[in-house]
């Protein structure tokens, strides 16, 4: 079995509509970093010429990428790769972290990085085979020295191997920019399931709580552009002061 590479151009079926094939083509160019964020894509007229279609067809392709949050258009300026802002998208759920309303990114400390295999439950959630090679990260995120979240993260080894070559102390406070930079992997959406439990001794220690104190568990499967699972993550934090905000539909 060949491991899927994020850089291999999508084979884009010829039977697909043209605008769809153009979308796929643009998407692989984006994944290959043909255009850097901040630089504009070729103009729509140019793209139309390059792909041998009319401008309306190119617009439809770009429309769908804009709808998915991959591109941004500005009238009179151009079309740009969207800098995913982790503040507003996946991150705003932790607004509770800031009492004054400002968004603060908690410091991150990797406690452990190991090569292991996918546990059955994780494999099911990620739609991969149980026992597949995996990278596991354990980390604690804190604000002003106070631990807020204890996280247990599983990544498929095939896609995330480059992470094994970096010192975990240099991972920084956010993982998704790291994934993008070193593994060419972009997280665009996620599924989350919240539940509550009493803190185990281990988690109580990590979070500096009493064992048995109420804890919120957030289980997240992060998805890429193609809606395929990239990361499985379980975060635990004190139920006290907990706030989780979400827009539906």
Residues at the contact surface with a second copy, assessed by CB under 8 A: 67, 69, 89-90, 96, 188-196, 214, 216, 239-240, 242-249
Of 56 and 130, the one with the shorter C-beta distance to DNA is: 56
Binding flags for DNA, 79-118, as an x/- string (CB under 7 A):
x---------------------------------------
Candidates 43, 50, 87, 129; binder of DNA (CB under 7 A) is 43
Candidates 55, 105, 143, 190; binder of DNA (CB under 7 A) is 55
Look-up: residue for tokens 């996946």?
90
Closest by CA to 203, choosing from 232, 238, 174, 242, is 238
Binding flags for DNA, 20-39, as an x/- string (CB under 7 A):
x-------------------
Geometric angle at alpha carbon 182, from 180 and 188, rounded to 5°:
15
Residue 248 Cβ vs a second copy, minimum distance, rounded to whole Å:
5
Give yes or no for a contact between 95 and 88, defined as CB atoms under 8 angstroms apart: no
Look-up: residue for tokens 């992997």?
185
Q: Where are the beta strands (DSSP E) in 107-145?
A: 107-117, 133-143
Report phi then psi at 174, rounded to 5.
-125, 135
Give yes or no for a contact between 215 and 238, defined as CB atoms under 8 angstroms apart: yes
Q: Which does 54 bind (CB under 5 to 8 A by kind): DNA, a second copy, none?
A: DNA
- Reduce the DSSP state of residue 47 to 3 states and report it: helix
Of 51 and 60, the one with the shorter C-beta distance to a second copy is: 60
Give yes or no for a contact between 225 and 46, defined as CB atoms under 8 angstroms apart: no
Residue 20 Cβ vs DNA, minimum distance, rounded to whole Å:
7
Binding residues for DNA (CB under 7 A):
17-20, 40-41, 43-46, 52-57, 59-60, 73-79
């Amino acid at each position: 079995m060949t491991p899927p590479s994020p850089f291999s151009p999508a084979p884009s079926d010829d039977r697909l509509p043209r605008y769809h094939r153009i979308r796929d083509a643009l998407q692989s160019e984006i994944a290959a970093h043909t255009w850097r964020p901040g630089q504009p894509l070729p103009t729509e007229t140019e793209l139309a010429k390059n792909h041998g279609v009319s401008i309306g067809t190119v617009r439809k392709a770009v429309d769908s990428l804009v709808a998915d949050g991959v591109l941004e258009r500005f009238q009179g300026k151009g079309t740009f790769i969207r800098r995913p802002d982790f503040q507003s998208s996946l991150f705003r759920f932790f607004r509770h972290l800031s009492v004054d309303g400002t968004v603060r990114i908690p410091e991150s400390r990797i406690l452990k990085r190991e090569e292991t295999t996918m546990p059955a439950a994780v494999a099911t959630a990620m739609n991969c085979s149980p026992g597949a090679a995996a990278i596991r990260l354990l980390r604690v995120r804190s604000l002003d020295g106070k631990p807020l979240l204890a996280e247990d993260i599983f990544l498929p080894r095939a896609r995330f191997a480059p992470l094994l070559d970096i010192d975990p102390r240099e991972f920084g406070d956010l993982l998704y920019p790291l994934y993008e930079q070193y593994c060419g992997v972009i997280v665009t959406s996620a599924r989350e399931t919240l539940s509550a439990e009493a803190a185990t001794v281990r988690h109580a220690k990590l979070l500096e709580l009493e064992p048995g104190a109420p804890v919120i568990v957030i289980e997240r499967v992060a998805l890429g552009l193609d809606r395929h699972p990239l990361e499985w993550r379980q975060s635990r934090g004190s139920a006290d002061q907990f706030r989780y905000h979400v827009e539906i539909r």
